[in-house]
Amino acid sequence: MGSAKPNADIRRFHASMLERAQRELQHAVNEEDFERRLITGITISASPEKIAAAKQRLAECLHEIANELIEDKGTEVYHLAAQLFPLTKKP
């Protein structure tokens, strides 16, 4: 798993991937578009004490899925991502 430290290049990369996902939401309108991608999310209430373990599990899951999808002669490039961040504002 990668470093948790902020890195400007990594942040720009993630921002660009989020922008591409946003464009997909705005422009993908036919059945083929929906078959080629998955953009989904869940909003939950959670205890901050459980977040570190959840982050670890998410990272492991992403790597597990990526390893299953990797092919010697893949014909398309995909971006697999997950976000977990608080929606609650600190006082």
For 39-83, the pLDDT digits (tens) are: 889 999 999 999 999 999 999 999 999 999 997 788 999 999 999
Predicted confidence (pLDDT) per residue in 16-31, tens digit: 888 888 888 788 678 8
CA dist., res. 65 & res. 19, Å (int): 23
Residue 84 lies in a domain: no
Residue 62 is assigned to a structural domain of this protein: yes
End-to-end CA distance of the chain: 31
Look up the domain containing 30 and give its range: 8-69
How many angstroms separate the Cα of 5 from the Cα of each of 1, 12, 38, 71, 75? 12, 14, 28, 31, 33
* Number of domains forming the structure of the chain: 1
pLDDT of residue 62: 96
In a domain, 86, yes or no: no
Whether 3 maps to a domain, the answer reads no
- Can you give the pLDDT at residue 37? 84
In a domain, 75, yes or no: no
Residue 12 lies in a domain: yes
